[in-house]
Structures are given as structure tokens and as C-alpha cells.
Structure 1
């Protein structure tokens, strides 16, 4: 490759959203590359070969071997005290059909955390896709203790081709790994999965997202998180927060109205270890649940009434916000009812509705205001998770029957009158 193209490739560092200055991989990407997979690694000698094997044997959605030229993998081993990088390099030599770049670095203590490492990697992937002029090229993140399914790359490609700007994959713990967990931690894990899946379905009835319809899940974490290069730049890149950087990035995507898909087709298996690398990761959540069991503490979550009201009012607010964009001037009584339901100051909400927000940013500011004012938290007491799961199942069963009765198995939206009718029939429990 000519010197001029190599210089152009290096110069792209100055255009990165967060300006990670170092060029991790000096070799330009292959011309056919559509997906750049990034894998942050720190002391993963026990799992890294399994992680790389899963990436090496990818197939398309018809079961055919995926063209190896369509994707590459960048593994960044940072501050390792084991032989993770050596194992990865040996794997690369044994699997020349996998375009695998292994980079080993030692970051200063102030930067040696997962948020910064994942940011460096995603910036590198962004730079490489921009070099290929692939605005819809995919930056795909996984972890060094996780194994993607054989169609992981193809499923991400399919979701982006269908219109998604970003994709969260379904992250599993295997049955055999779950069997090794502390009994209370295992019970909490399974109950939370059920609780969040039920909420995801309820959301599809009460405040449906046309770009993320049910069936869908609720996860948007670093073990399976994909985004187009264009949307990565538009969202400002991955925030270099210590943890959880993946959730912070999801919020950044919502702020710019990214079409986010929680895809059930994109799947990853991850470690069930109870000692993790991130303070707010799954491993430490499992450890916290185990400690709760030792202390006989109940697992408390948001009540059905609170969940349903939040989704209902968020949908009403979304309709109001869309109307304002089209020139509608709402009366203060309409805003006051929404503000009261959300537990925020009406004058504050009226002012925010005049600002040039995206809806994602508007609702983020509302949630921050709810926390500041404290009215919402005082109004809704937390409830034991098993009770809430039972109530959610009953509630959803009634909604499904209601929809089937009118041949509306998938509601495109709910009007204010729809909500009033459901409340009158005691289908919304407040």
C-alpha cells in the first residue's frame, strides 16, 4: 500500500469522537471488511481461547461459513499479569483464516479501567471503518470471558440492514454455570431476567418503539453491543466512564434518537463468575445477591403500578412532544397532568418542552429531575420481586386477551382514550 494511503489512515485519529490518539493496528483493514469486532482483555487466560474460537467459526443465517474477509477482530490485552496476549497470538498463528489483531499495552493507573479500554478499542474500530468509507459499517463489542454464538456477526449485520443504528445482544449464563452459583444469587438472577422480560413486553403494549418491537429483550451491555460507525460518531463515541460504560453509551445513543434494537437473534454466553473486573458488572451483581441471601434480605424492585404509570405517561409525553415539534401549543393543564403523574415540577417541565431536545434527552432529564425532587420515589414503595412477577404476568395476560379480542396482537400505539378504557375495565392497576 502506498505511503499516502498509510498517512491518510493514520491521520484519521484526529477525527475520532473521543480522540484516542494511539493507532493500535497500523495495518489497514481489508477492503471487504464490514464489521470490526473489539475484545478488551485483562487476565483472561482461562477463557480467551474459547472466546476467539467462537469468533473464528462464524456462519451466516443460512448456515454457510461467513466470508472471513467481511470482519476482523481487534483484541486489546491491557495491564495483564498472565499470558492472555501470548495465548491470543498463538491462536492467531493457528487460525490464519481469522483476521485477528492482538495488541498488548500497559495503561497508566488513571486509565486502566474497562470504560477507557473499550473506548480506545471502539475508537480504533471507528477509525478503520471510516477509512473504508463504511458509514454503516459495524463496531461490535464483546468480552474476553464471553462466547458469541455462530451467527452473532451475521445477526448483527441483519439487524443493521433492517434499519437499526445499534444492537444489544441477548446475554446468557449457561445452565451448567448457573448450577455453580450461590443458590440465592441464582434465584435472584433468574427472577430478574423474568422481571425484565415481562417489562419489555409490557413496554411494547404501553409505549411501543417502532424500531424495537416485541419479541425483544432488555440488555445493552458490552458483552454484545454493536453500533454503526455513523451513529458512534453522532453519539459522541463511548463515554470514558469507569463503569458501567456500556449503559452510559446506551444513554448517549438515546439522546440522539438512535434506532436501538434489543435483538433476540444476537446471542452471547458469558461467565458466571462472582468476582468481576467492573464494579457494576454481572459478576459483582451476583456477589451482591449472594450477600443478600446471607443477610436474608429480600430482593425489592419497582412495583407494577409504578412501571405501568411510567410507561403510560411516557407514551403520552411522546405524543405531546411530537405535536410540539409539529407546531402544537399545549395548554398548561395538559402539561400539569403529565408533570403530576411523573412527580416533577410543572413549570420546569413546561420550560423543558420548549427546548430543542430529542425525546431521549428530554426523558433522561425528567428521570434526573425525578431523582432530585424525590416525589416519585416517595410515592412508589419497592415490592418483593416474586410478587411483582406474579402481578406482571396477570396484567400482561389481560392485555393480551384485550388485544386478541380486537385482533390487535401488536398495538402500534395507545391513545389517551385507550388508556381510559383499560383503566375503566381495571386492566391498568391504579
Structure 2
């Protein structure tokens, strides 16, 4: 609903590069053919690093043909390592001189030796190098030192970007042997969470579809497989230097500026099932928590299906109301009261926020923050065991799938019965959403 402007290199100073790293990390200039700058933060990854780099150099296009190595480069930052990760990387680079693999080794002060800061340093450097080539749609692609990208990882990211995405989250799988060797309760929790989140993703497709992120898709936007164009990296203000989870914080920054984010099933990465991580969050930490829950016989509880469905329906109604306000239409008092109740916020607060010049991403983020403050949402929706939530989601999806299958022609989730009246504004007329605006 908001027009997207074009961005040029001259527009990019919104990214404030840190003064401590104002000089390039890599002195060798990028190849003029470079389209993708892959960044790999590494800290004590001696056991997995060779496999990570091997996967990155054996890249093919979507037809299975060898990918021209001039089209991408790799920047690896070994920070605060106490093992021989840096030596392994340097040896690997010497053995593969046809690949642009740049090794940087640094010991950061304790206040900066965390993954968010390291990934920020690397992504800033990738951004700078792509800008030097004038590639506004050049791709900054992130992975990790304990992960192995698929052979078409670079090509699939480029495909999604060329199809119009501003950023891409890849599907991250836990390697099979490690998963099989997990504690039984942790493995069960992992598999249930994957199923739970996939069901949520499908439900979202029916109730609040994103035209730039159509089904089939997944739910992940994490550092092991995260790609973004240089122009969108700038518009989002760069990667936030938060301790963890920096990847989720960056995704939220992208949502705030209405980036076209694609959760692509074509982009795939396999990561380790280790249970001792480098941060206080992430998969390794979560696996450890599940193991401890099993020992203490604690249930795995999650948000119930009713809360999830209500959120998606309310978000879509809010999106339309926001669009109507942008087009000069005043929402009816009844629709404002009804939506505020559904969202779990006060009507007065919602009216005030709708009068402000927010992007929709900014508006909904404020709604979620307000929900936590007012506590109406939390008191209404109590967590349930994940098995119950999965069962309820499956039942609801059966109904939605049936409704969708009865539609004729090239119908989409926008055509479901809950999306009845078009908004009077011309730009919203084809959106297929319920009209909360008064004439």
C-alpha cells in the first residue's frame, strides 16, 4: 500500500559504519563481476569449518551447472578463537586460489566479542564492498561456521532477489545424524516445534497473506541463512549490534521499512545439532533447555491456536484500517472498538496510533509492545501443551483448506469468505479485505 522508492548508492549513508572499522577489513578490492558477498562469522569452529567452506565453493546454478566463482566472494572473520580455526581457513584458501576467500582474524575486546557485533562488522564490510561496485541490488549473504549451505544456495538466493525480494530467509535443517543422537525428549520437542511453526505459517497464508511471501514457505529468518540487498540493508539501518538474537532484530528492522521478505524453501542450509552454543539463545541453547525440561518432566507449552488465529485476523483488519486512513477514509467508531478489543489494546490508544505516519511494520510492532504493557492479550490467552495446539491448528486448517479448494479459477487465500468487502479507496479495491471504513 505504500509506494516503494528506488535507491541508489548516493542514498546509502543511512548505514553508519563504526569508526573502529572505518578502514576496510579486506584490502583486496572485490571482483567487478561480484554479485554476492558471503559473510561467515567464526569462533572456535575447527571441527566444522572445512565442511562449511567446502559447501560454499561447490556452488552450482539452478540447472546444476558450475557457478562462476567470480560472481561471489567469501569474507570470514575469525574472532577471539582459541583453536586453529583461522589456520584451517587460511590453508583452505591456499588450496583453492580460484575462490575469493578473504580471511580476517581479530581479537575483539570483551564488550564487543559477541555474535551480533561480529555479524554486524562483516555485513557492513560486505555492504561497503558492494557499494564500491555500484551494485544496489548486490546481495549480502550470511551463514555460520557450523553450517553447510546447499549446492544451489547462492543461486537460489539470487533467484528470489531477482524475483523481487529485498531479503531472503533460508530453510535451516538440523543435520540428520546429530538430530538422531539427540536426547529423546529434546528430539521430540524439536520435531513438534517445527510442525507447530509450519502449521502457523500455513494458517497465516490463509488469514493474512503476504503477496511477496506466498505459500509454500517456511518460518525461519536466522543468521545461518539470511540474505539482503545492499539497498535494503541501508534502508533498514544495517544490522543492529544487539547481543542476541541479532538476526531476529534485523528481521524486525526489515519489517519496519516494509521490506519484501521471502522465506524461501529453495534456499537450504544444514546446521549442527550441538548442545553447547556460542550464545545464550539459538538452537544449541534451546536443545539444552529441552533436555533439562525432559529431566524435570516439564511440558512444552506454546501459544494456543485461538490466539494465533485471532492475531492474524486482527492484523489483517488493522492493515486495511491503516490503508484506509492513508487514503483519507475515517474508520467507523464501531470498527475501531471491535478491532481494539480483538488486539487487546485500548481504543483511544489505537486511534492515536492510526493518526501517526507509521509504516505498517512500525504500527504493528507498537501494537505488540502495547499488548505486553496492557496485559489484556496475555490474560485472555493462556499457554497450552504443544500437542493440543498442533491438534487445534490442524482442525482449523482442514476447514480453511476445504473452503479454499471449493473456490474456482485461479483463486488465492485472499478470496476466503472472511475477506468480503473491498475498501472504497482505489488502491485497496483489489486487496480483498473486509472494509472497516465509513463512507
Measured against the shorter chain, the TM-score band is over 0.9
Is residue 250 of structure 1 aligned with residue 248 of structure 2? no
Q: Which residue is equivalent to 1:382?
A: 383
Map 1:223-372 onto structure 2 (within 5 A): 223-372=224-373
- Note if contact 2:41-2:144 (Cα within 8 Å) is conserved in structure 1: yes
C-alpha distance in structure 2 between counterparts of 1:337 and 1:190, whole Å? 37
Aligned length: 408
C-alpha distance in structure 2 between counterparts of 1:404 and 1:152, whole Å? 33
Structural RMSD (CA): 1.6
Offset at 1:22?
3.9
Offset at 1:320?
0.9
Secondary structure class of the residue paired with 2:87 = helix
- Note if contact 1:316-1:416 (Cα within 8 Å) is conserved in structure 2: no
Per-residue displacement from partner, 1:288-307 (whole Å, max 9, x unpaired)? 01111111110001111111
Change (3 A) 1:337 1:415: farther
Is residue 411 of structure 1 aligned with residue 413 of structure 2? yes
Change (3 A) 1:413 1:327: farther
C-alpha distance in structure 2 between counterparts of 1:199 and 1:28, whole Å? 44
- Note if contact 1:76-1:104 (Cα within 8 Å) is conserved in structure 2: yes
Q: Which residue is equivalent to 1:17?
A: 16
Offset at 1:330?
1.1
- Note if contact 1:207-1:414 (Cα within 8 Å) is conserved in structure 2: no
Secondary structure class of the residue paired with 1:253 = helix
Offset at 1:324?
1.1
Change (3 A) 1:332 1:321: same
Q: Which residue is equivalent to 1:188?
A: 189
- Note if contact 1:168-1:261 (Cα within 8 Å) is conserved in structure 2: yes
Secondary structure class of the residue paired with 1:102 = strand
C-alpha distance in structure 2 between counterparts of 1:393 and 1:175, whole Å? 26
For normalisation by structure 2, the TM-score amounts to 0.91
C-alpha distance in structure 2 between counterparts of 1:322 and 1:129, whole Å? 35
- Note if contact 2:12-2:234 (Cα within 8 Å) is conserved in structure 1: no
For normalisation by structure 1, the TM-score amounts to 0.93
C-alpha distance in structure 2 between counterparts of 1:234 and 1:66, whole Å? 30
Q: Which residue is equivalent to 2:154?
A: 153
Offset at 1:18?
4.0
- Note if contact 2:165-2:262 (Cα within 8 Å) is conserved in structure 1: yes
- Note if contact 2:403-2:416 (Cα within 8 Å) is conserved in structure 1: no
Of residues 393-402 and 307-316 in structure 1, the stretch that sits farther from structure 2 once superposed is: 393-402
